């Protein structure tokens, strides 16, 4: 079975202490009102957890994907579910672009503000209405004009822009028609959202959907937004490769969150099954209730093992593509199985918001479509692991 070191267990318990301040009613209220849990995110920032992967020299904790996975799993498992873990994973990981590719000046200026939680960079703008999983089809333009880039275009599914000071924007610096390879010609930029508003060059509209509390998502329009040329992150025209570089890490941490969601769903179901009496016996005495929960536990444990195998490989600098993609796939399956079994165990109360399992069920469904769909994960495994021809 999976074993954590003393240091890793300490991280778990420190995060659990913070989570204890936010009870079931808090998360139910946030979900009911579609309200972003800013106070929770701020408290994580005050304790330095938003700076988990930021190097110590820039004020962060200098830890890695492994520790971040532990934190996010514990948040989800505390009862917060995705309302908790998804509200803060962007702030923890979107800064990776700056850590890996930003200039020294940018790192010195921006990272300490993010590590302390004083400023939030938790908005990543890649998807466009006509460019879903085919990111190379984006048309948002960044044109160089002296010391600035001028941005025009539209993004969609921009999550948490309303609670973010900065955004990492992916735009075309060379139009698709002019590149030799469609993956060339895209670049990353740091956008100061307040400055963009002051210029009157950005407009937003929230996308109505469920699961709005942790991941409120927006359509965003840019019209002649001017950003300083030094806000280019990394090399001009290399943005696609810089984005791809972060995908495996994203898959690992979201797998850890899905494992946390599976854990809390199983815990809640077991608790209910040992309390609820029907036909003069606890419902948990029925094998029809036990077996789905036992299966869900077996699947969750197995998903958890591969998730941390991937996280350790990442930390040790080993190739992680296969493990990260399998972890992402197995963890979302485990979350769906566990939340489904938890709803079933609760009978009619499975849909009553006070028992939370209905929310976990909704949240587990999301893992199959975003940030990356089941199909794209299976495409990766087919092509890169099984060596089958690329299908698209």
Ligand X SMILES: Cc1cc2nc3c(=O)[nH]c(=O)nc-3n(C[C@H](O)[C@H](O)[C@H](O)COP(=O)(O)OP(=O)(O)OC[C@H]3O[C@@H](n4cnc5c(N)ncnc54)[C@H](O)[C@@H]3O)c2cc1C
Footprint on this chain of ligand X (rule: CB under 6 A) = 124-127, 132-133, 157-159, 215, 217, 369-371, 373, 375-376, 379, 392
Query: Is the CB of 341 or the CB of 366 nearer to ligand X?
Result: 366
Q: How far apart are CA 332 and CA 267, in angstroms?
A: 17
Q: Minimal distance in Å, beta carbon 93 to ligand X? A: 11
Q: How far apart are CA 305 and CA 328, in angstroms?
A: 12
Q: Which two tokens stand for residue 340?
A: 């489904």
Q: Minimal distance in Å, beta carbon 159 to ligand X? A: 3
Q: Minimal distance in Å, beta carbon 246 to ligand X? A: 12
Q: Minimal distance in Å, beta carbon 339 to ligand X? A: 17
Query: Is the CB of 164 or the CB of 184 nearer to ligand X?
Result: 164
Query: Is the CB of 279 or the CB of 392 nearer to ligand X?
Result: 392
Q: Minimal distance in Å, beta carbon 129 to ligand X? A: 8
Nearest to 213 by CA among 19, 28, 6: 28
- What DSSP element (H or E) covers 109? helix 104-115
Q: Which two tokens stand for residue 18?
A: 């913070």
Query: Is the CB of 94 or the CB of 289 nearer to ligand X?
Result: 94
Q: Minimal distance in Å, beta carbon 379 to ligand X? A: 5
Query: Is the CB of 9 or the CB of 384 nearer to ligand X?
Result: 384
* Total Cβ atoms within 10 A of residue 55: 15
Query: Is the CB of 10 or the CB of 369 nearer to ligand X?
Result: 369
**DSSP class of residue 276?**
-
Q: Minimal distance in Å, beta carbon 90 to ligand X? A: 7
**Cβ atoms 329, 259 nearer than 8 A:** no
Query: Is the CB of 171 or the CB of 215 nearer to ligand X?
Result: 215
Which residues face 131 on adjacent strands?
Answer: 128
Q: What is the rounded end-to-end Cα distance, in angstroms, of the chain?
A: 39
Q: Which two tokens stand for residue 56?
A: 């110590």
Q: Minimal distance in Å, beta carbon 257 to ligand X? A: 13
User: How many CA atoms within 13 Å lie on the side-chain side of 97?
Assistant: 30
Query: Is the CB of 270 or the CB of 370 nearer to ligand X?
Result: 370
What is the full DSSP assignment across 185-226?
SEEEEEEEHHHHHHTT-EEEEEPP-SSTTT--EEEEEEEEEE
Q: How far apart are CA 374 and CA 379, in angstroms?
A: 9
Q: Minimal distance in Å, beta carbon 274 to ligand X? A: 34
Query: Is the CB of 61 or the CB of 158 nearer to ligand X?
Result: 158
* Total Cβ atoms within 10 A of residue 17: 10
Q: Minimal distance in Å, beta carbon 110 to ligand X? A: 19
Q: Minimal distance in Å, beta carbon 212 to ligand X? A: 9
Q: Give the residue closest to ligand X by C-beta.
A: 132
Environment class of residue 142 by beta-carbon count within 10 Å: exposed (0-12), middle (13-18) or buried (19+)? buried
Q: Which residue is listed with tokens 């204890």?
A: 20
Q: Which two tokens stand for residue 25?
A: 């009613």
In this structure, are strands 277-278 and 281-282 parallel, antiparallel, or unpaired? Answer: antiparallel
**Cβ atoms 332, 370 nearer than 8 A:** no
User: How many CA atoms within 13 Å lie on the side-chain side of 321?
Assistant: 12
Query: Is the CB of 90 or the CB of 260 nearer to ligand X?
Result: 90
Q: Which residue is listed with tokens 């003393």?
A: 6
**Cβ atoms 47, 81 nearer than 8 A:** no
Query: Is the CB of 351 or the CB of 369 nearer to ligand X?
Result: 369
């Amino acid at each position: 079975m999976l074993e954590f070191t003393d240091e890793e267990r300490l991280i778990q318990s420190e995060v659990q202490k913070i989570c204890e301040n936010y009870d079931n009613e808090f998360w139910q209220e946030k979900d009911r009102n579609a309200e972003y849990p800013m106070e929770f995110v701020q408290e994580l920032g005050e304790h330095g957890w938003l700076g988990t992967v930021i190097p110590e020299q820039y004020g962060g904790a200098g830890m890695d994907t492994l520790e971040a996975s532990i934190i996010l799993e514990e948040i989800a498992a505390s009862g917060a579910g995705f309302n908790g873990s998804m509200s803060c994973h962007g702030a923890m990981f979107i800064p990776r672009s700056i850590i890996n590719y930003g200039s020294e000046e940018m790192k010195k200026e921006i990272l300490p503000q993010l590590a302390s939680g004083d400023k939030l960079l938790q908005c990543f703008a890649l998807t466009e209405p006509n460019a879903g999983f085919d990111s190379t089809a984006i048309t948002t333009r960044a044109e160089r004009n002296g010391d600035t880039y001028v941005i025009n275009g539209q993004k969609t599914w921009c999550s948490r822009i309303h609670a973010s000071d900065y955004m990492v924007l992916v735009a075309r610096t060379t139009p698709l028609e002019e590149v030799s390879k469609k993956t060339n010609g895209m670049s990353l930029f740091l956008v100061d959202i307040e400055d963009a508003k002051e210029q009157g060059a950005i407009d937003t509209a929230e996308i109505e959907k469920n699961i709005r509390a942790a991941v409120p998502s927006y359509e965003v329009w840019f019209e002649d937004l001017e950003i300083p040329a030094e806000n280019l992150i990394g090399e001009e025209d290399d943005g696609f490769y810089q984005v791809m570089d972060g995908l495996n890490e994203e898959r690992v941490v979201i797998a850890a969150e899905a494992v946390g969601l599976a854990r809390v769903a199983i815990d809640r179901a077991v608790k209910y099954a040992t309390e609820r009496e029907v036909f003069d016996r606890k419902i948990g005495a029925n094998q029809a209730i036990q077996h789905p929960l036992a299966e869900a536990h077996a699947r969750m444990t197995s998903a958890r093992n591969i998730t941390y195998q991937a996280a350790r490989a990442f930390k040790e600098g080993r190739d992680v593509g296969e493990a990260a993609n399998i972890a992402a796939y197995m963890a979302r399956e485990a979350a769906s199985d566990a939340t489904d079994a938890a709803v079933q165990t609760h009978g009619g109360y499975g849909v009553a918001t006070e028992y939370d399992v209905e929310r976990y069920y909704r949240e587990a469904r999301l893992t199959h479509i975003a940030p990356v769909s089941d199909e794209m994960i299976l495409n990766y495994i087919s092509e890169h692991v099984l060596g089958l021809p690329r299908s698209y």
